[in-house]
Amino acid sequence: MRHQFASVVLAAAMLAAPAMAAPTVSIPRAVVADPARDASHPAVNRQVLILSHGEGMNALLMLASGAGPKPTMLLLHGLPGNEQNLDLAQAIRRAGWNVLTLHYRGSWGSPGRFSLAGAFDDVEVAMDFLRRPDNARQYGIDPARLVVAGHSMGGFLAARYAATHGDVLGAALIDPWNVGASGKAVLAKPEGRQDAIAAMGDDFGNSLAGTDAAQLMAEVERHARDWDLVDAAPQLARKPLLIVDAQYGNAAQVAPLAAAIRARGGPLKAVTLASDHGFADHRIALAGVTVGWLDGLTVPAAKAR
C-alpha cells in the first residue's frame, strides 16, 4: 500500500490532529560510517530458504562482522513490501546486529498463497529458524538476544508476535498498521469500503499470489475485533518497545496504541517523524532512532558455547 488504506477511513482525524514538532534525533555513528573490516569475520549476506507450511520463503540473512554470537533482528516488510527498508537493515548490521529479512509465502516470488493470517504463521516460523541451535551456530546468532521489528503490516505482525511470545528482547514498530482498528473503521462506515479497497491495493502490482485487495479486506473485516493492537497493550507493555510513527502516515492510528502502552507503564520509546508512511525523506532519522534504541537495550550477555 503506497498509503495505508487506514488513511481513507481516518482522514478526518488526521487532518484534525495538531502539528507536531520535529524531534531532535541523535545519529549514531553506525548510521553514517562503515566499521573497520574484520578480515577473520567479515560482514556477509547469506541467502536462505525458510520452510513454512511446505513452502520455501525467500530470505536474506545479513550477518554482522566480528566473532561471536550476535544479537539478531527479524525485520518484516509491509503490504506488499515495495519498501524493503534494506538501508535500515544495513545500519543495524553496522551497529553489530545480524538482520533477517524475508518474503512471506505468496509474496515477491515466495511460493504459496498470501494472507495476513499466513504471514503471521511465517513470522513464527522465521523466529523458530533463528532459535534453532544448528542455525545459531552456523550464522553466529545469539537466540537469547532476538528482536522482532517491522514496518506497516510488518509492524502489526511484529506487535502480535511480541504480545504472544515473552522470549524476545523487544520489538520495534515502524509506522505500524493496526489491522483491527482499520477493520472496525471500515465496518463502521461501509460506504467507504470500496475506496478503502482501492487504497489497499494501489501498488500491489504482481507482488502477491492467490489473493487481491478485496479478499484481504474481507480478512481484515473478519478479524476486526481480535486484531486490534490496542487490546494487546497489556502484553506489549511487558517488553521494551519502540514505536516510530509518521506524521503524514499512520500517526493518528498509532496514537491510541502508544497511549495504552504508556498508561500501563511499559518501557516504551515513541517518536513521531514529520514524514510519510515510507519515511521517504527521513531515512537517516529513522535509522538513527532505531539504532539508538537498539544501543540502549539491556542486552543479556551471550551464552557461552
pLDDT confidence of residue 1: 60
Q: pLDDT tens, 244-264?
A: 999 999 999 999 999 999 999
Q: Are 125 and 52 in contact (CB under 8 A)?
A: yes
User: Could you list the residue range(s) of the whole structural domain that residue 203 is in?
Assistant: 6-296
Question: For residue 17, is it within any domain?
Answer: yes
Q: Report the SS3 class of residue 269.
A: strand
Burial of 301 (0-12, 13-18, 19+ CB in 10 A): exposed
Q: What crossing angle do the helices spanning 193-200 and 213-222 adopt, rounded to 10°? A: 120
Structural domain contains residue 229: yes
Long-range contacts of 215-219, Cβ-Cβ distance < 8 Å, separation of 24 or more: 216/79, 216/115, 216/116, 217/5, 217/186, 217/193, 219/115, 219/116, 219/117
User: Quick one: which H or E segment has residue 40?
Assistant: none
- H-run or E-run covering 136: helix 133-139
Find, among 227, 246, 238, the residue nearest to 268 by Cα.
238
The CB-based long-range contact list for 83-90 (8 Å cut-off, 24+ gap) reads 83/151, 83/152, 83/278, 85/151, 85/174, 87/283, 87/287, 88/283, 88/286, 88/287, 88/290, 89/62, 90/62
Which residue ranges in the chain fall short of pLDDT 70? 1-23, 298-305
| pLDDT score recorded for residue 182 | 96
Q: Is residue 303 part of a domain?
A: no
Q: Return the C-alpha torsion angle 162, 165, 168, 170, nearest 10.
A: 20
Type and span of the H or E element at 245: strand 241-248
Question: Considering Cα of 99, then 139, then 168, then 145, what sign does the dihedral take?
Answer: negative
pLDDT by residue (tens digit) across 200-229?
999 999 999 999 999 999 999 999 999 999
Q: What is the reported pLDDT for 25?
A: 82
Nearest alpha carbon to residue 91 among 33, 17, 150: 33
Closest CA to 130 of 120, 140, 116: 140
Answer whether 23's CB lies under 8 Å from 273's CB.
yes
Query: Is 154 inside any structural domain?
Result: yes
User: Looking at the domain assignment, is residue 305 inside a domain?
Assistant: no
- DSSP run (H or E) holding 288: helix 283-296
- Ramachandran bin of 57, using left for φ above 0, alpha for ψ from -120 to 50, beta for the remaining angles: beta
Residue-wise DSSP of 163-195: HH-TTSSEEEEES---HHHHHHHHHH-GGGHHH
177-to-28, 180, 237 alpha-carbon distances in Å: 27, 9, 18
Whether this prediction's pTM lies above 0.85 is answered by yes
Rounded Cα–Cα distance for residues 114 and 289 (Å): 31
Instruction: Write out pLDDT tens, residues 135-173.
Output: 999 999 999 999 999 999 999 999 999 999 988 999 999
Which CATH number belongs to the domain containing residue 183 in this structure? 3.40.50.1820
Number of domains in the chain: 1
What's the pLDDT at 76? 99
Query: For position 148, what pLDDT does the model report?
Result: 99
Q: Is 135 helix (H, G, I), strand (E, B) or coil?
A: helix
